Copies of this chain bind each other. A is one copy, B any other.
Amino acid sequence: MVSLTDGQKATLSPEAAAYLTNIHHVPFASFLSPLLTSSSRIPRLRQGYQQKMGPAETELIEKHHLRMTDIVVAGVPVTVIEPPSIKPEEQQKALFNVFGGAFVMGSPRDRAALTMAAELSVRVYSVGYTKSPEAKYPVARDQCLAVYRELLRLGPPGLAPLDPANLYAMGCSSGAQLLVSMLLVAQREGLPMPTAGLYLCAPALDLSGAGDSMASNQHDRDLMPVSLLIGMVSQNYAPGGVDPRDPLYSPIYADYGPSFPPTIVTVGTRDFALSHGVRFYWKLRQAGARVELLVSEGMWHGFNWDPVIPEALQVRAAVIEFLEGPKAAGNNLLP
């Protein structure tokens, strides 16, 4: 059970309170984590996750009449998600997406990718990187980079190269680690940044375990005990001998400058990633980049993608306002 007092319920929507009430944690998670998250258990975890998420994904595809196409870019599978009609001013825009799932679960056609295709009304290129334990760091990051490089240089099969000025990028949870690490390497390589805007949802940017919320939200507050997440990452994704504070492995420790893309970060107060978001906000702000942090009351890791919870609808609208901001301002200048 997740702890939820009357005073905490009072500041949540009834939908959010009902959601939290229905969360049941594995008992003795801290103790059992090494067993529950060992590589041999991952197929079962994935299956459970996909069984839970699959129907919601199908529903989103149908509801928004999304067109799904599987392509291969730089040898990596990529899912292209297209809304049925794209506004003329959005035709040149695209969203580069790196899905989340603690590096071991999840899919490029997850709720995040589908929801953003529909609500931001853009074509989404969602990288089907190799999960762990089949691949360890930095394989998935380098696959994302190979896709990014080819989309910018050659373009998607049969299309013109993507224009970085019209490119958004999104990473959720572990996907944010992959995406930010990828952008850091891309910058070193001289590749342009996706300057239309970066969206980091509940980003996991510090794999060292540091941070206030990694302790305060570790047990009975968030969707899942932190011990399980740490087990999944350490037993499946982390390569032997990695320094957990390596700035490409835990991008919170990297240096940033004012040329980093405009970034919006979302977290919730129950989210284990609250401190990741807070710290990255200050890091980018101090670097002179444009950054906005949205913190949602009583919300858990990844709440953003719920189709009906009002807090999720609210934050999604705010994110889209940030991402579309310059365009909306530009439109006002039209006669």
Measured CB to CB, the residues of A under 8 A from B are 3, 5, 7-8, 10-11, 208-217, 221, 269-270, 274-275, 278-279, 281-282, 285-286, 293, 295-298, 314, 318
A324 to B178, CA, bound (A): 37
Please name the residue on chain B nearest to A295 by beta carbon.
B278
Interface residue from B11, B211, B278, B282 paired with A8 (Cβ < 8 Å):
B211
Which of B5, B281, B295, B318 meets A215, CB within 8 Å?
B5
* Contact assessment for B269 and A278 in the assembled complex, using a CB-CB cutoff below 8 Å: yes
In the bound complex, residues from chain B placing their C-beta under 8 Å from that of A221 are: 216
A213 contact set on B, CB distance < 8 A: 269
The reply to whether A279 and B293 form a contact with Cβ atoms under 8 Å apart is no
Report if A314-B212 is in contact (Cβ < 8 Å); known contacts: A11-B275, A269-B274, A293-B295.
no
CB distance from A322 to the nearest CB of B (A): 12
CA distance A157 to B309 in the complex (A): 54
Q: Is the CB of B10 within 8 A of A270?
A: no
| Number of copies of this kind of chain in the complex | 2
Asked whether, in the complex, the Cβ of B282 is within 8 Å of the Cβ of A212, the reply is no
Whether B215 contacts A297 by the Cβ 8 Å rule is no
Q: A217 CA to B210 CA in the complex, in Å?
A: 19
Query: Are A215 and B3 touching (Cβ within 8 A)?
Result: yes
Q: Provide the residues of chain B in CB contact with A217, threshold 8 Å.
A: 216
Are A7 and B214 closer than 8 Å at their CB atoms? yes
Partner of A275, one of B209, B211, B269, B282: B269
B278 contacts A215, C-beta separation under 8 Å? no
Q: A216-B269, A274-B269, A295-B295 are in contact. Are A210 and B279 (CB under 8 A)?
A: no
| Residue contact B297 to A11, C-beta cutoff 8 Å | no
Q: Which residues of chain B have C-beta atoms less than 8 A from A281's C-beta?
A: 295
* A285 proximity list for chain B (CB < 8 A): 318
Instruction: Give A84 Cβ to nearest chain B Cβ, in Å.
Output: 30
Interface-central residue, A5, A7, A217, by most chain B CB under 10 Å: A7
Nearest first, the 5 A-B pairs at minimum CB distance are: A10-B210, A212-B298, A7-B210, A5-B215, A212-B269
- B residues less than 8 Å from A295 (CB atoms): 278, 281, 293, 295
With beta carbons under 8 angstroms apart, the residue of B7, B274, B282 that contacts A314 is B282
14 residue pairs of the A-B complex, CB under 8 angstroms, read A7-B214, A10-B211, A11-B210, A11-B211, A212-B270, A212-B297, A216-B216, A216-B221, A216-B269, A278-B295, A278-B296, A281-B295, A282-B297, A293-B295
